[in-house]
Structures are given as structure tokens and as C-alpha cells.
Structure 1
Amino acid sequence: MRTPWADGPEYVTQCPIMPGNTYTYKFNIENQEGTLWWHAHSRWLRVTVYGALIIYPKAGSSYPFPKPNVEFPVILGEWWNRDPISVLNQALFSGAAPNVSDAYTINGQPGDLYPCSSQGTERFPVNSGEKIMLRVINAALNQQLFFSVANHMLTVVEADASYTKPFTTNIIMLGPGQTTNVLLTANQAPGQYYMAARAYATAQNAPFDNTTTTAILEYKSSGKGTASNSRPLLPRLPAYNDTATVTAFQAQFRSPSTAKVPQEIDEDLFFTVGFGFVNCNPGPRCQGPNNTRFAASMNNVSFVLPNTISLLQAYYQNIQGVYTTDFPPVPLTQFNYTGNVSRALWQPIFGTKLHKMKFGSSVQIVLQDTSIFSTEDHPIHLHGYDFYVVGQGFGNFNPQRDATKFNLDDPPLRNTIDVPVGGWAVIRFVADNPGVWLMHCHIDTHLPWGLAMAFIVENGVGKLQTVEPPPTDLPRC
């Protein structure tokens, strides 16, 4: 809280750390327990620059469930055989979608279904009867992922560093940026069992990496000699486009007790999210659909990052000409968002437009997917905040019909929400963390295309409602 200088997105809260330089991130953890993660927030560097950030209960307190015998971080990643920065640069130059990855990974290893890493396949040793907690993190750059462990049920107990009412499932799905803690009991016959992850892909006719990454849950009592002679059992994963399984899974998330959901709304916002296209003429031929260049937007504004100073510095140093505060709170043009969208609405405007809010405002945001080019499940992440997910559905959001179904009692608390493919999600939070905060799609292909915006949350009254001064080692542009 009050330390946006430690948030990290380049040109939003800081300038990039230059080669050979350092920057120490200092921040306070308040009212959070569970699994988060750290990662680079510059171009595609986070393809390999990431790790788990685990917050344990305070001394003298405990988990709200029986303490597991052992815990393992399970970090799902994505791998390119080429330099990923060159993959991104080629896509931005050509206007086309970037090449898909060559593999997924678990704790840095693709697993032995690929021809390159059977010796390095990650193994998780367990004893029969133990209760294990898996801290699952989707650090993949561009892909939502299904995850399962063969023959073992998973009890979900926490997501995005917020506890949930426990529920049991054999499949979980995480969008990029999401974390999910699950409990697993080692109650099967001694042996080896694959844990596996593969894509949940929703954009129509869009290529994706259809490979499967694996690791091995290995019972210590199984004896290596016997186990190594047979391939572990592979879990049955859903079809790549199995939205029904995702919807049923996400519907089970609840806060463990009555939630402090804002009831009266000060800022009622409606953001469309999705693709767009930019005409290439005049100029060289582009490789997007129909000689266009891919773009993306919120409320038809494709977000442009500054490149000489961060938005946070520009705001607190009152530097003019870096951004404007006229981001539209609702779409400037209403249309059939998930239907046949007029070509006149396919090309967004470009700008560095922010939305300013007073400290303590109660905020509701409707996030609406659109069908320009294709509907798609978009994992939307808000920096600086957790938020309550009070409703989700398909088609166009209808306030008269859909608001009556909101869960205002025990909705889940998240920091990244997958907006359903061809649907909507509604979040609520109190703007009590001053600063400049980026909201963006956590599919990293979509971020440089402009699927982002930023909030300015003004200071409140007194020291505890005011942004701390910038650190002396803040990177310079």
C-alpha cells in the first residue's frame, strides 16, 4: 500500500532498469497470505524472468485448513526456441500475430513428452498418506492453461493470495498471472503419476501451442527400479476449447466468509476489451488479416505507453503533455459487442488516456469481451488492488437482467479475472491505494497491441492515505 514506485511496469510506475544497474523494490505486505509471483514487466522479458512469491501466515497463526505435510511451488511457463524478444519484434514489425511457443514448462522443465528433456523432468517426491499443497502459478506469457494430476483430486483453498471456501475438482484452469493453491492427498497406489498442463484456447481460427508439459508426482515407497521402467499415468485433460469445464470450475470460487463488497457505487465503469486492426495504407504490406496490423483496445482506445518518463513520475511531478485524463468511462459508441460488429468500429484510436478517481471511491467495472476478429477469454489484471468478482456471464452484459444475479455476499477476491470468451465479468473494489495503476490483459501479446489503460487514484487525507516519496535509486530514463 502507498508504494506504487515498487510496482514495476515500465513507463507506468518506473523507467526500465538499464543494463548493469540495480533497483531495490521495497514495499509492505498488508492483509495478504498465500501465493503471488514476481516477474519482469518490460516487453517479453518475463518469458524467463519470474518466480514464486510466497506469503506465509503470521507467527502464531495458521492456515484455515489442516497444515499440509509438504508444499511445492508449481510454476507453469512457456518456452520459445528462438530469442523471444526477436519473436515479439518481428510481430510488431509485420503487424501479424507472433509465432506461438514451442513448449510449456513446469518449474523450467518441459517434461518427458518432449524429445529434449526427459533427464530433467521435474519430480515431486511424496510419502503415502501425506497431504501436499501445490502452489500453482501460471507464468506463461500468452496462454491460459488447464492443470491436473493423474488419479488425484485437488482441493482448491486459495487463489491470488486470497483464501477461498474449499472445493474439490480434478481440473483447474489458470489464466496468465493467476495463482491457485490446491491440496492433494497421496492416497493412490505407490508409483509415479504425471501432473500435466496444456492450453485452454478460445480465439477462433487462431494458432496456439498444443503441446503438453508434464512433471512427475513420485511416491517414495514405489521404488525407483520398478517405477522407471514404465511411463507414469497421464491425466485426462479437457479439450482445448472446453469453455463449459472452465465455467463450471470458476463458478465454484467463493470467499470463505461474508465479504466486504462495496454496496453503493461511486464510479460505475463499463470497459469493452478486445481486438482491433489498423490499416497499413499507405506503407509496406502488413501481415495481419486483409493487409492490416493487429491492435487491441479498451473502450476503443489502444493504450500507448510513454517512452521518456513514467506516468507515475509525470503525475507527481506535474509534468504536462505525457498523458490525458479523458479515458472514456463507458464505450463512446454502444453496439452489439459479441455479435456482428460493424467494420467502422474495428480501428481503435491511439492515446495515453487515464481515468482519475478520488481516494476511497467505491468502484464497479463491467469488463465486456468483444467479437472484433474473434471473441476470446481475456485474463485482465489490475495492479495495486484485489477486487471482488461479483458476476460473470456470456453475451452482452444487461444491467437490468444481470445485476440482479450479482453475488454480493461471498464473491471471490482476485487480482486477475478471466473475462469469459464472448462474455463479461463485473468487479468491485474500493480505491484506497493511491498511485497510478495499470489495468491490462495478461496475455502479453495483447499488451503491446494496446489492451490496457491506467487509473490515477488521488491521495487521501494524511500520511496513511498518501503515496510515499520516490526512492533515491528509482531508475532514470
Structure 2
Amino acid sequence: MPRSWLILVFALSAAAAVARSATVEHTFNVRTLSLPRVCQPGNISITAVNGRVPGPKIEANEGDTVVVHVINDCPYNVTVHWHGVFQRGTPWADGPSMVTQCPIRPGHAYTYRFNVTGQDGTLWWHAHSLFLRATVHGALIIRPRRGAGAYPYPKPDEEKTVLLGEWWDARNGDFFIGSSLGSADAYTINGKPGDFYDCHTTPNRIAKFEVRRGSTYLLRIINAALNTAFFFKVASHTFTVVAADASYTTPYETDVIVIAPGQTVDALMVANASQGCYYMVISSYQSAFPLRPGSFNANVTTAVVEYVGAAPSEQHAPALPAMPELTDTTTANRFYTSLTSLVRPDKPTVPLDVDTRMFVTVGLGFSSCDPAQKSCRGTAGGVAASMNNESFALPTAISMLDARYRNTPAGVYTRDFPDQPPVVFDYANVTKNVVGSSAATLSSTGSPSTKVRALRYNATVEMVLQNTALVGRESHPMHLHGFNFFVLAQGFGNYDGATAAEQFNLVNPQERNTVAVPTGGWAVIRFVANNPGMWFMHCHIDAHLAIGLAMVFEVEDGPTPDTALPPPPPDLPKC
């Protein structure tokens, strides 16, 4: 074919791709409003977007550009993170305060611009400053590119967004002061606490989902809770899980879904029960051992699945499903380990050659710094969190991405995050660690630090995430910004490389952006560092993030202009 024809064909293909994309634009007005307390008299002043909780749903197609104008009319600094969006070419729009940007100050505004190329499915957005994401959050739905065909599973008749959260009756000012949030006053489904709270003072307190018998529904389930993993069921119905964290899965049949903070699950549900009403229910999954009384809400939260057109004789009080026990780790592990990726010819496969290997302990310990020091971190009881014994602290004067762009990291961050913990010990054994004479040495996290792990562009990274039991065993949902990763294997106890390697799934492991590391156990993840920037990795339990359970990857530039860190937008907020 002549060169002129090749150029014409390329131009026509590019024009067609542009024609199939669009710009999706929203305005977020962040301000305080007054809403009723749950089971208590009076109202609470909260921070929300456009006057509602959850906030606006953003719907786009793969390849679209999303533009969101954020106007901060609340009394707090605000940033917004687009959870799960790769932000390739737009790392300044990722959102975590002081990692990729300075926050939007009260009375100021900022416009986020980013593309959603190369991914589709259920994601979400949330505040990434203070504990504001308790009420500043919403769904981000990315559908396949226009003209690219349907989903790789039977087309549903309708979609339902199911956003799970937590509610506190504390005032905003009180709520944001401490690093330990305590127990939520209620759990919520689409912002409502349901029928099972012993009060009738909360108006419009239950979410309702109408269905028609014989129809198939795609439930887009999002866990926006600050601290709680959930069991999710609908009485007399089952699910087929088809995606997790906006990555397609091999269809998995189940009657219970387990979802940790930060995660999303897409599940098909056929409305094949008899005509009537059924409860959709969430209850907490409490992975901590020993269980801390008073640290969680043991109630269930309900919504109603209501069949349209039921005759009066078919109407009845909603049926309630049997829920797992709060501490049912067996059910949680069965769900998490049963998911595998749907292998597709146009999607990445597991990289087999590893360039960087890391063994990273994650968990809670005891702070060894003087509580009187301003740099000391942790709760009143001296509990701090760390990864490889480094308790992460955000910079205060300039964002980490800005420092990297200016090549002025001095005084902002250092490039010495360790690939191994400083001490090898019995990570998963509570008794030995707490009672043993070396407990204080093992559990001390020292002063807070801001350390990053520098990665060569396109390097393949394998990370073992090992839970520790210094304060107690607990499942930590670890979220990586800017990437998906493959979960090769997970298990309980101390990681043993020789035996774990035999369990590695290198064919169709699940692909996620948030992995629930098993309580008292480990998970192995692998990803390719093909996205230049500064990428936060942290526990999505906000009470743990606040006391240091985080680190940052600094991914170097690639060899071409489009694989290098772009300059910051001219209107990026200033510190």
C-alpha cells in the first residue's frame, strides 16, 4: 500500500477514535449542610458534595475525558481522588493531599482533568484529605468505549449502583480532630441506615431497589466506608460476580459478597424469587484478633429489593437473609481467593520476569517517640502504623510530586524506603510478640518519616505484603494508586517463599487496585511500573492511614516524551 494511503488510513482511524470519545463535565460544590442524626435528636453538620450523600455519580465511556470543577465552600482543605483511575499522562490529577497536590483551600476552586483510557468498570471518587471521605464520595462508572461492543457477560436488563458507607453522629469539627474514629453510629446503603435501628426519628431511612421478575440486574457495589469491611447478601437471591475493582473476572457464583474498604464488585443478580419484598443486607466483617469490644457497630443495615407489580396477596414483610458471623474469616477468605481474571486477548497478562522484589510488613505497632513532640504520631495509647517499620508522614510545605518535578526532594522525602523489614521475627504470632522480651524492640516504629521507593520505568515489581500481629491480627485493604496489580497468591501465617511460589497463579490471577491482605497472613502482588509519577500505597482503613500505614512509589520517566512526567497544570493549588 502506498505511503499516502497508510497516512490516510491512520488519520481516518484516529478521527474515528476521537468521534467515539467525549468530554464528561461536572461541578462539585463542597460545603457543609445539616442532616438528621441516626436515632438521636437534632441534626449534624457534615461536609458533602452538591448537598447530598453519596455525591454525584460520574458516568463515562472508556476513552472519554472527565472534567470536574471542585469549588471548596467548606471550612476544611479538600482534595478529590479518582479511586482506581490510572491517570496516565495526568498524574497531577490523582488527588491525595500533599502527595500529588496541595489541597484546595476554603474559598478556592480547582478543575480536575483526566482521561479514562484503557479501563472500564465500577470505580469511585472520594476526598483524600482528613477524614472527609466519610461523606465526600460517589460512584465513577466507566462503560466500554462507544461502538466497542457490550460487556463480556450476558447483557443485564438494568444496572443498580449500591454504595456502602458509614455514618457518625459526631460534629464535623470533633470528627476530624483525632486519628482514631471509634465505632460508626450506623452503616449505610446509598446513604441510608435502613430499618434495623431502634428509632423512627430518621426520615426516609431506607434505600429501595425496584426489580421485575425474570430480569437480570448488574449490581455495582462500592465500599466507601472509612474502616469497615462488609458481608453483602440479598434474601433468596444469588449473584454471579463478573468484575472486581473495574477488572473483569471469570464468572463466580455465590450467595455472599465480601468487600473491603476501597474495593468494588460487579455482580449479576437475577430477580427469580417469588413476587414480594426482600432485604438487601450488609453486616460488618471484623477481622481483628483479639476482637476489641466497642470498636465496631454490630448492627446490620438494610435496603429493600421490591418486585414491581406484586399483587396484594403477594406482598409481605421483607425476608431477611442469614448473615455470616462477624468474625467469619473462612467465608471472607473463600470469597477473596475464589476470584480469577477473565483472560482476554486485548488485556495485559502476568509479567513473568521480576526486576524488583520487596518483602513489606504491614500492621500496627507502638510509637517510640515522645508524645510531647510535634512530630510524634499515633493514638493516645501509643499505637502507630508502619510498613517495614517506617511510619509514613505527609510533607507540609510542598507536594511530593511537585518536589519530584522540580528535582528538589531534599527536606520533602528520601529515596530509602527499605525492601525488607529491619528485623526478622515471627510476624503472625501474637503471643510471642506481645509477651516476649523483645516485643518493644520489634514493635517500635520510631519517628515518622517520608520515604519512597524509586522504581525504574517499566520495571516489574513483586511485593509480598506480610501482616504483623504486634498489636493484634487484622486484615488490611492495601490500595495502590496509578496501577492495577495481579494478586498471585495469599494465605495465613508467615510467608514462606519456597512453598508459596508453588501456589502462584501466573495464568489468570485476579487483577485489583485494592487487596485485603488476610488477617495474620500475607498476599503477593505483581505490577509493571509503566506510569511515571508519585504513587501512594496505603491501607484503606482511614484510622490506619492517619497513623502511618502508607508509603509512596516514585516511578522514573520513560524514554519518550509521552512517558515522561508532564508539567503541572497552571491552576494547580498552591500550598
Normalised by the shorter chain, which TM-score bucket? over 0.9
Residue number in structure 2 paired with 1:306: 395
Q: What's the CA shift for 1:277?
A: 1.4
Residue number in structure 2 paired with 1:353: 451
Q: Distance in 2 between matches of 1:52 and 1:160?
A: 12
Q: Distance in 2 between matches of 1:237 and 1:152?
A: 13
Judge which range, 54-63 or 35-44, deviates more.
54-63
Residues 467 and 518, structure 2, Cα contact 8 Å, conserved in 1? yes
Runs of 4+ in 1 over 6 A off after TM superposition: none
Q: Distance in 2 between matches of 1:395 and 1:429?
A: 24
SS in structure 2 at match of 1:23: strand
Q: Deviations over 1:59-81 (max 9, x none)?
A: 22110111111101000010000
Letter in 1 for 2:465: L
1:170 pairs with 2:260: no
Residues 392 and 424, structure 1, Cα contact 8 Å, conserved in 2? yes
Residues 47 and 84, structure 1, Cα contact 8 Å, conserved in 2? no
* Aligned equivalent of 2:223, options 131, 138, 149: 138
Q: Distance in 1 between matches of 2:398 and 2:108?
A: 17
Q: Deviations over 1:231-256 (max 9, x none)?
A: 31111111011000011111211111
Q: Distance in 1 between matches of 2:481 and 2:342?
A: 23
Letter in 1 for 2:184: S
1:108 pairs with 2:191: yes
Residue number in structure 2 paired with 1:149: 234
Residue number in structure 2 paired with 1:10: 97
Residue number in structure 2 paired with 1:332: 422
Q: What's the CA shift for 1:473?
A: 1.3
Residue number in structure 1 paired with 2:351: 262
Residue number in structure 1 paired with 2:382: 293
Residues 149 and 194, structure 1, Cα contact 8 Å, conserved in 2? yes
1:366 pairs with 2:464: yes
Q: What's the CA shift for 1:282?
A: 7.2
1:187 pairs with 2:272: yes
Comparing both chains, which one has the higher relative contact order based on Cα–Cα distances under 8 Å and sequence gaps of 6 or more? 1
Residues 405 and 567, structure 2, Cα contact 8 Å, conserved in 1? no
Q: Distance in 2 between matches of 1:328 and 1:421?
A: 23
Q: Distance in 1 between matches of 2:156 and 2:109?
A: 37
Instruction: Show the 5 A alignment for 1:35-434.
Output: 35-60=122-147, 61-89=149-177, 91-92=178-179, 97-114=180-197, 115=199, 116-117=201-202, 119-203=204-288, 204-206=290-292, 207-223=295-311, 227=315, 230-257=316-343, 260-279=349-368, 292-319=381-408, 320-339=410-429, 340-341=432-433, 342-349=439-446, 350-434=448-532
Residues 123 and 216, structure 1, Cα contact 8 Å, conserved in 2? yes
Q: Distance in 2 between matches of 1:437 and 1:215?
A: 36
- The verdict on how the C-alpha distance between 1:267 and 1:25 changes in structure 2, with shifts beyond 3 A counting, is same
| TM-score using structure 1 length | 0.95
Q: What's the CA shift for 1:225?
A: 9.0
Q: Distance in 1 between matches of 2:365 and 2:481?
A: 24
Q: Distance in 2 between matches of 1:407 and 1:400?
A: 15
Residues 300 and 331, structure 1, Cα contact 8 Å, conserved in 2? yes
Q: What are the ranges of 5 or more consecutive residues in structure 2 without an aligned counterpart? A: 1-87, 434-438
Q: Distance in 2 between matches of 1:12 and 1:351?
A: 14
Residue number in structure 2 paired with 1:454: 552
Q: What's the CA shift for 1:119?
A: 3.3
**Seq. identity, %:** 49
SS in structure 2 at match of 1:301: coil
Letter in 2 for 1:436: M
Q: What's the CA shift for 1:283?
A: 5.2
Residues 397 and 424, structure 1, Cα contact 8 Å, conserved in 2? yes
SS in structure 1 at match of 2:170: coil
Residues 237 and 273, structure 2, Cα contact 8 Å, conserved in 1? yes
SS in structure 2 at match of 1:120: coil
SS in structure 2 at match of 1:469: coil
Letter in 2 for 1:348: T
Residues 360 and 464, structure 2, Cα contact 8 Å, conserved in 1? yes
Q: Distance in 2 between matches of 1:98 and 1:224?
A: 45
Q: What's the CA shift for 1:88?
A: 4.0
Q: What's the CA shift for 1:278?
A: 2.1
SS in structure 1 at match of 2:470: coil
Q: What's the CA shift for 1:83?
A: 2.4
SS in structure 2 at match of 1:221: coil
Q: Distance in 1 between matches of 2:457 and 2:573?
A: 27
Q: What's the CA shift for 1:2?
A: 2.4
- The verdict on how the C-alpha distance between 1:249 and 1:85 changes in structure 2, with shifts beyond 3 A counting, is farther
Q: What's the CA shift for 1:401?
A: 1.1
Q: Distance in 2 between matches of 1:254 and 1:314?
A: 39
Q: What's the CA shift for 1:448?
A: 1.1
Residues 128 and 221, structure 1, Cα contact 8 Å, conserved in 2? no
Taking only aligned residues, the RMSD between alpha carbons, in angstroms, comes to 1.8
Q: What are the ranges of 5 or more consecutive residues in structure 1 without an aligned counterpart? A: none
- The verdict on how the C-alpha distance between 1:102 and 1:224 changes in structure 2, with shifts beyond 3 A counting, is farther
Q: Distance in 2 between matches of 1:473 and 1:224?
A: 59
Q: What's the CA shift for 1:180?
A: 0.2
Q: Distance in 2 between matches of 1:398 and 1:22?
A: 50
Q: Distance in 2 between matches of 1:165 and 1:106?
A: 27
SS in structure 2 at match of 1:404: helix
Q: Distance in 1 between matches of 2:301 and 2:286?
A: 16
